[in-house]
Structure 1
Amino acid sequence: MMFLLNYRFFWSIFFLGNMLSACSFHEQIHENRLTPMPLQWKQNQKIIKNITQYQIRGVLSWFSGKKKGYAYFNWYQKLPGHYRLLLTNPLGFTIFQINQEDQSTQFICKLRHCPNDSNIEEALFRMTGMSFPLENIHQWIMGLPGNITTFTIDEQYHLRQLNFSENGKIWRILYLAYHSVPSLPSLPSKIELHQGKQSIILSIYS
């Protein structure tokens, strides 16, 4: 089945502290086995995983030391493992583009000082001041935990928070808002990624 997601713009920038609800379920690791999660959560995840085609657009904002800024993003997936991420500045000029097809990645960089080795994470670091983890991004934007095993869900069975470490850095991802989509579980409309005092905000509007 193929779906093209299209939902309205909700844009605001603010910082929130603890987002854990008293009604949330906490998935934990016990001897390589995961604590059972509610059936409704599993059913929602199965439906979302079956979406093969989708497109979302929005604003990416970053706050890292003295670096603050924003850019517009356009994400299009035509098949699982086949996606395009386009990042543009407020004037509409391309900053960079990522084309992913299975294990093949094409990276087009228009930054003033692009990495010579076409390193995507290095390009993101030069722009935002943060080393942004990309391995699971195509699942996180859909409200899926990917290969992260420590997370919380809320009373509506939405993903609420992810916690993981990468390259010695502790990351926390908060899902601050969801939007209803016909015939599908609600999907994220605002996501915050935190590493120390640094933050990236994804505000999805269509």
Structure 2
Amino acid sequence: MRSRFFSTKQLLRLIPLTALLLSACNLNQIKTQGSASDNDMQWQARQQALKKISQYETRGAFAYIEDTNKTYARFYWQDKADERYRLLLTNPLGTTELDLNVMPGVIEVTDNKGKKYYSDNPAEMIYQLTGMVIPLKNLRAWLVGLPGDATNFELDANHLLKSVTLPAPEGDWIVTYQAYDSSTTPNLPQRLELKQGERIIKLKMDNWDIQQ
């Protein structure tokens, strides 16, 4: 294998080019924390557009990866106003593995045997039944590209949410947006990853059905 070496003059010419490339990379992201986003009018307009979505449905691929628990499924998420939402997980054969229905005053989970459970804490119920830790409260916002309760987040050059960091007792939740669906108005996430320590949740949305 041929080794390649650079002379001092060549290195001096490379340094400005490297600096230029690094500067170009930095232009593709806008770091925003806390109230700094108040000055970004495009981000403010995008938030308003997202909050006008009265209900939506999305489906796709779900992966939960942890040392002692690895789950791969298809998911269906339906979200309506007034704290109404549904999360359905099915196996490759289409059989229900978990069906969560949240309505005002009623939270119901159906397991893979058809048994129904009721509680006032859906995230805790899912953990007891499956061992999966899912931040449902903020996931509703993260799914559509809003930071939820997080005040530490980053936007990209298109004023779309790029990453979110939310403190939690077991460690920060870090959400990374890997792709957006440009066919929707407003643009909605297509792939995102949630990470808390060694715990990883991956979501890939195949399509969106939204109503405003």
TM-score, structure 1 normalization: 0.76
**Conserved? CA contact 1:161–1:175, under 8 Å:** yes
Q: How far did residue 163 of structure 1 move? A: 0.4
**Conserved? CA contact 1:107–1:118, under 8 Å:** no
Alignment RMSD (CA, Å): 2.8
Q: Partners of 1:51 and 1:28 in 2: how far apart?
A: 25
Please say if 1:204 is aligned against 2:209.
Answer: no
Matched with 1:26 is 31
Matched with 2:19 is none
Q: Secondary structure at the match of 2:187?
A: strand
Q: Secondary structure at the match of 1:146?
A: coil
Q: How far did residue 34 of structure 1 move? A: 5.0
Matched with 1:147 is 149
Residue identity matched to 1:25: I
Residue identity matched to 2:32: E
**Conserved? CA contact 2:111–2:129, under 8 Å:** no
Which residue among 111, 132, 135 is the counterpart of 2:134?
Answer: 132
Closer, same or farther: CA 127–108 of 1 in aligned 2, 3 Å? closer
Q: Partners of 2:71 and 2:150 in 1: how far apart?
A: 28
Structure 2: gaps spanning 5 or more residues: 1-24, 208-212
Closer, same or farther: CA 131–41 of 1 in aligned 2, 3 Å? same
Matched with 1:74 is 76
Q: Partners of 1:65 and 1:45 in 2: how far apart?
A: 36
Residue identity matched to 1:181: S
Which residue among 106, 109, 112 is the counterpart of 1:107?
Answer: 109
**Conserved? CA contact 2:109–2:117, under 8 Å:** no
**Conserved? CA contact 2:173–2:195, under 8 Å:** yes
Please identify the structure whose Cα radius of gyration is greater: 2
Closer, same or farther: CA 151–123 of 1 in aligned 2, 3 Å? same
Q: How far did residue 45 of structure 1 move? A: 1.0
| Residues 27-42 of structure 1: pairs in structure 2 closer than 5 A | 27-29=32-34, 34=36, 36-42=38-44
Closer, same or farther: CA 165–101 of 1 in aligned 2, 3 Å? same
Residue identity matched to 1:143: G
| Residues 35-74 of structure 1: pairs in structure 2 closer than 5 A | 36-74=38-76
Q: How far did residue 155 of structure 1 move? A: 0.3
Q: Secondary structure at the match of 1:144?
A: coil
Closer, same or farther: CA 37–71 of 1 in aligned 2, 3 Å? farther
**Conserved? CA contact 2:172–2:196, under 8 Å:** yes
**Conserved? CA contact 2:50–2:186, under 8 Å:** yes
Which residue among 84, 87, 97 is the counterpart of 2:86?
Answer: 84
Matched with 2:168 is 166
% identical aligned pairs: 32
**Conserved? CA contact 2:138–2:148, under 8 Å:** yes
Closer, same or farther: CA 114–174 of 1 in aligned 2, 3 Å? farther
Q: How far did residue 49 of structure 1 move? A: 0.7
Q: Secondary structure at the match of 1:141?
A: helix
Closer, same or farther: CA 198–114 of 1 in aligned 2, 3 Å? farther
Q: How many residues align?
A: 183
